[in-house]
């Protein structure tokens, strides 16, 4: 596709890097707006966003280093190539969540409310970022004879990320971008229709992403590291899916218990449905 968007003398603007930066900015903006609507200090949310972006970049590269450790051990000079690569999304997600939990607890912010504010931004930003993968040629699919297969021809992409040239491949970047947009729609739609409780949007995102990533991995053609016959991302998905489902059940039950306890102190008048807001636990 177009791995290099613009070249001005010695300066090269890479399409992937530009869209990755755009995805982070979009996610941060969405999270800040949603946090303000939920009564969370937008300045703290902005500071948190900076921590999350940095930790996401570092975590993605660290997991890539771990997955391809033998390659980098045999070619130590190639470690510096990590500066030019995006890394593995799950590594960034896991480290970003860990850093976010530390930050919000340190500053007394409601953990799950913050998570709910961030989740849709992650989904939308992820979709934008996958278009960067498409233009850059990374995260490419396995060969296919399907009519919607895409063929890369840019030699820079082949040298930079090993993209096969002249072969029709599954457009896995578009599969993942489309899945992320579907997840975004589901998150926003269920916020209006389902019974609200703090943490539901975040853990629903984790569950849906785990399912979509596990399935799409079967169509990937790049080297992603294997564990017990499945890719590293599929193995992580198999862990995160049951964890997210358990958390959804636990938080829903905790919310019902809190509502029951709060109800005992009222005068037994029926509450108006429109007055109810998600509780933080």
Mean pLDDT by 10 residues, the chain (281 residues): 74 81 88 90 90 90 83 71 71 92 93 93 92 89 96 85 92 97 95 84 96 96 81 94 96 88 61 47 46
* pLDDT at res. 72: 74
Would residue 183 count as lying in a domain?
A: yes
In terms of Cα–Cα distance, which of 154, 140, 229 is closest to 4?
Answer: 154
**Segment holding 13, helix H or strand E:** strand 11-14
How many other C-beta atoms are found inside a 10 Å radius of the C-beta of residue 200?
Answer: 24
Would residue 155 count as lying in a domain?
A: yes
Which domain covers residue 100, as residue numbers? 4-195
Would residue 254 count as lying in a domain?
A: no
Would residue 228 count as lying in a domain?
A: no
DSSP 273: G
What's the number of domains the chain is made of?
1
Would residue 248 count as lying in a domain?
A: no
* pLDDT at res. 281: 46
Would residue 180 count as lying in a domain?
A: yes
Would residue 262 count as lying in a domain?
A: no
What does the alpha-carbon distance between residue 240 and residue 220 come to, in Å, rounded to a whole number?
A: 20
Distances in whole angstroms, Cα of residue 197 to Cα of each of 98, 171, 190: 21, 37, 11
Would residue 17 count as lying in a domain?
A: yes
User: The tokens of 157 are what?
Assistant: 């992409």
* pLDDT at res. 176: 97
């Amino acid at each position: 596709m177009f791995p290099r968007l613009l070249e001005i003398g010695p300066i090269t603007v890479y399409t992937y890097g530009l869209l990755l930066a755009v995805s982070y900015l979009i996610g941060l903006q969405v999270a800040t707006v949603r946090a303000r609507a939920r009564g969370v200090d937008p300045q703290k949310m902005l500071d948190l966003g900076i921590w999350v972006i940095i930790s996401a970049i570092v975590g993605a590269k660290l997991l890539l280093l771990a997955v391809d450790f033998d390659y980098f051990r045999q070619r130590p000079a190639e470690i510096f190539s990590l500066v030019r690569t995006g890394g593995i999304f799950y590594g960034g997600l896991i480290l970003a969540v860990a850093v976010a939990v530390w930050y919000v607890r340190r500053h007394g912010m409601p953990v799950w409310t913050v998570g709910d504010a961030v989740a849709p931004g992650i989904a939308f930003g992820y979709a934008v970022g996958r278009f960067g993968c498409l233009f850059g040629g990374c995260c490419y699919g396995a060969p296919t004879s399907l009519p919607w297969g895409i063929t890369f021809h840019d030699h820079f992409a082949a040298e930079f990320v090993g993209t096969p040239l002249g072969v029709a491949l599954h457009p896995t970047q578009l599969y993942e971008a489309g899945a992320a947009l579907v997840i975004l729609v589901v998150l926003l739609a269920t916020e209006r229709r389902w019974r609200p409780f703090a943490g539901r949007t975040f853990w629903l995102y984790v569950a849906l992403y785990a399912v979509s990533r596990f399935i799409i991995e079967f169509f990937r053609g790049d080297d992603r590291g294997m564990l017990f016959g499945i890719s590293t991302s599929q193995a992580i998905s198999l862990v995160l899916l049951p964890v997210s489902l358990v958390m959804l059940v636990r938080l829903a039950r905790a919310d019902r218990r809190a509502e029951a306890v709060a109800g005992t102190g009222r005068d037994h008048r029926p509450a108006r449905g429109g007055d109810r807001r998600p509780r933080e636990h």
